[in-house]
Amino acid sequence: MKNIALILTFFLCFGCKNNHRDVNTAQVKTSGHEHHNDTRSEHSSANEHMHQSSVEKLIERFESPERDAYQQPQKVLGFLGDLQGQTIMDIGAGSGYFSVKLAEKGAKVIAADVDEEFQEFLQRRIEKSNFESVVHILGKKLGHNRSFSMQMMCNTYHHIENRPEYFTKVKKGTKPEGQLVIIDFFKSEIPVGPPLGHRLPIDVVVNELKKAGYNSFEVNVDLLPYQYIIKAK
């Protein structure tokens, strides 16, 4: 197997084909919809809801065939393009669902999660893997020196507190030509994902990222059945 570095870090404070699409791939609604909710309340509520289940149950759910069916990771990886040699931070990595898949494509991956139980699981998963090179970085110094060609967040956006401020820091940690990738659930009645009140529509996410300094967006609402993908630069 190729020499692939899967890097574990504790960085960052911390994560229906037609009728549920609120934008199309060519146009994003960015006005006329203000988001007034307190992100601190959202952050606390979302975390409380998630941790109604044990970490063991969450890992089982995150790694289940049912998730594979709707997450369609190979489609996502194909959409992200050539990952060989890229340095990617998987923010809110949880069980490392995408972290290991990104590494298998040749990326150097930082699997970041603030939950200690997830961190322990990630470390055990890395140690049991066939990766030839494993580097553990246990500090909080990464992220402000334009280290990453991609920062990725899947199903985690609504867990973040003070999002414009947070993603300003994320942007500072991304190379000038790099990008942020957000994957999250449509704000509509769908059979998977967090409660409807915890989900955020695409225009809210885009507007918050604009406040953080992003000004170029590609939005895809057709690749996955229940989730949108935003590429931001």
Kindly indicate the confidence band of residue 115, based on its pLDDT and cuts at 50, 70 and 90: confident
Q: Nearest Cα to 177, choosing from 216, 141, 210?
A: 216
**3-class SS of residue 68:** helix
User: What is the β-pairing status of strands 227-232 and 217-220?
Assistant: antiparallel
Q: What is the pLDDT of residues 23-71, one digit of tens each?
A: 433 334 433 334 444 555 554 455 554 546 788 999 999 999 999 999 9
What is the rounded end-to-end Cα distance, in angstroms, of the chain?
A: 32
What is the per-residue pLDDT for 38? Answer: 52
What is the per-residue pLDDT for 126? Answer: 81
> What does pLDDT average to over the chain?
79
What is the per-residue pLDDT for 125? Answer: 86
Number of helices (H) and strands (E), helices first, in the chain? 8, 8
User: Mean pLDDT, to the nearest integer, of 177-195?
Assistant: 96
With 60 as the cut, is the pLDDT of residue 14 above it? no
With 80 as the cut, is the pLDDT of residue 178 above it? yes
Q: Nearest Cα to 224, choosing from 182, 163, 180?
A: 182
Asked which of 61-65, 95-99, 137-141, 165-169 is least confident by mean pLDDT, the reply is 137-141
Task: Please tell me the distance from the alpha carbon of residue 115 to that of residue 113, in angstroms, as a whole number.
Answer: 6
**3-class SS of residue 195:** coil
Asked which of 2-16, 98-112, 197-211 is least confident by mean pLDDT, the reply is 2-16
Most confident region among 4-8, 37-41, 113-117, 139-143 by mean pLDDT: 113-117
Domain ranges of the chain: 5-232
User: Mean pLDDT, to the nearest integer, of 172-187?
Assistant: 96
What is the per-residue pLDDT for 48? Answer: 54
Fold of 5-232: Rossmann fold (3.40.50)
Cβ atoms of 13 and 169 within 8 Å: the answer is no
- CA 3 from chain centre, in angstroms, equals 25
What is the per-residue pLDDT for 119? Answer: 84
Q: CB within 8 A of 76, min separation 6: which ones? A: 98, 183, 223, 224, 229
Phi and psi angles of residue 27, each rounded to the nearest 5 degrees, phi first: -145, 135
Kindly indicate the confidence band of residue 145, based on its pLDDT and cuts at 50, 70 and 90: low
pTM reported for the whole predicted model? 0.79
Residues in the chain: 233
Give, for 227, the enclosing helix (H) or strand (E): strand 227-232
Give the other-Cβ count within 10 Å of 162's Cβ. Answer: 13
